[in-house]
Structure formats: structure tokens, C-alpha cells
Amino acid sequence: MSTIFAQVADLGAAVANVRRNECSMTTF
């Protein structure tokens, strides 16, 4: 359960990072 929760949190952080980068320069 802990690992799954960590994976979900990591994925959320990655998505947030991509969306943040998308704000500065749209390359995705």
C-alpha cells in the first residue's frame, strides 16, 4: 500500500511538473 501511494504521489508530481513547464514553453 505504501509503495502504491508513493507511486501515485510521484506521478502527480510529474504531471504537475509537466503542466508547469507547459506554462513557460509549450513543447509537450
Domain ranges of the chain: 1-28
At 19 the pLDDT is 83
Cβ neighbours around 12 below 10 Å, total = 10
Band (1; pLDDT cuts 50, 70, 90): low
Band (23; pLDDT cuts 50, 70, 90): low
Indicate if the pLDDT at residue 27 is higher than 60: no
Cα–Cα distance, 21 to 14 (Å, whole number): 11
Cα–Cα distance, 11 to 22 (Å, whole number): 16
